Amino acid sequence: MKKKISYGRLILHIFLIAMSITYILSLVMMISISLSRESEVLRNGYSILPQKFDLTAYKMAFANPTQIIQGYKVTAIFSVTKVVLSILITALLAYPLARPNFMYKKFVTVFLMITMFFSGGLVPSYIVNTQYLHIGNTIWIYILPGLVGAWNVILFKTYFKSLPGELIEAAKVDGAREIRILFTIIIPLSKPIIGYTAFTTLLASWNSWQESMLYIRDSNLYSLQYLLQRIINESNFIKEMAKTGLDTTNIEGGMPSETLKFAMAVIASGPMLCIFPFFQKYFAKGIVVGSVKG
């Protein structure tokens, strides 16, 4: 017997398929423009297929491949390190908040909620990071600030509370301590929320660029996003200088700016696009947990 599909569900499916096609076409168009000749894009606008296949934008981006590779290396190191430390500390903080017998639960929860709505601001943060913590112009400036987010703690706490309490009680009867319960029972059962939080944290770290602009003076410590931004700004500057007589005839199709932006987007987002399918299954669970009150 065939299962009937309601009109509401059919409309929802059509809407979601249309949205998916829109996202896919946007990605395809981004890659297509990055592989097109600059003059053709400026003349004809954007298109799904490359207009006169040209790798000039990528040649410009990788004019100094050592610099790009260093940017990838630095960004990967601090992003992965921040994810690991963030998950560890968040779990250690959320676990006691999920336990009913933790006497300071209300105080810590209120403290966390305050940090979600108020911050010290840019100037106090800069003074603390440079004058007190002395992490300016070091890789730790990418890792320590914002290491633990109140929202992630709430997500972890809510998920921990949804696990069967009988497991914890049985472990205590067997003589297990709280720290062992956390690492041998709770965390192995929390892969969905860990995967969801790990990817969102990784994505935020991968896209960071303000730290490089404000704190980093050593070019070897530039994040990938800031490095690519500098390359775009430099190309725009050279293009403006070309209007005053600077010779750029050695670059086929002229100095790229529009195609270079899309090439940079492909270079920056490529690793995340490859990683996302491995974490996709955790997103639905993470969104459901976030919608439930702890």
CATH number of the domain bearing residue 267: 1.10.3720.10
Give the pLDDT confidence score for residue 285 in this predicted structure.
63
Q: Is the pLDDT of residue 252 over 50?
A: no
- Residue type for position 21: I
List, for residues 93-138, the tens digit of each pLDDT value.
999 998 888 888 888 888 888 888 887 788 888 999 999 999 989 9
* Residue 145 · residue 125 · CB < 8 Å: yes
Give the residue numbers spanning the domain of 126.
Answer: 59-290
Q: Is the pLDDT of residue 207 over 80?
A: yes
Query: What is the 3-state secondary structure of 141-192?
Result: HHHCCCCCCHHHHHHHHHHHHHCCHHHHHHHHHCCCCHHHHHHHHHCHHHHH
Domain assignment present for 272: yes
Domain assignment present for 187: yes
Domain assignment present for 142: yes
Domain assignment present for 67: yes
Give, as one character, the DSSP assignment of residue 220: G
Rounded CA-CA distance 161/292 in Å is 11
Question: 10 Å Cβ neighbour count for 33?
Answer: 25
Domain assignment present for 23: no
User: Mean pLDDT, the chain, as a whole number?
Assistant: 83
Which range in 7-16, 97-106, 207-216 is most confidently predicted, on average pLDDT? Answer: 207-216
Residue 287 pLDDT class (50, 70, 90 cuts) = low
Domain assignment present for 42: no
Rounded CA-CA distance 246/254 in Å is 12
Rounded CA-CA distance 293/236 in Å is 49
Rounded CA-CA distance 81/75 in Å is 10
Exposure string (b/e) for 185-200, b if CB count within 10 Å is 16 or more? bbbeebebbbbbbbbb
Instruction: Give the residue-averaged pLDDT of 65-94.
Output: 92
How many domains does the chain divide into?
1
Residues of the chain with pLDDT > 90, as a percent, come to: 18
List, for residues 54-63, the tens digit of each pLDDT value.
888 888 888 8
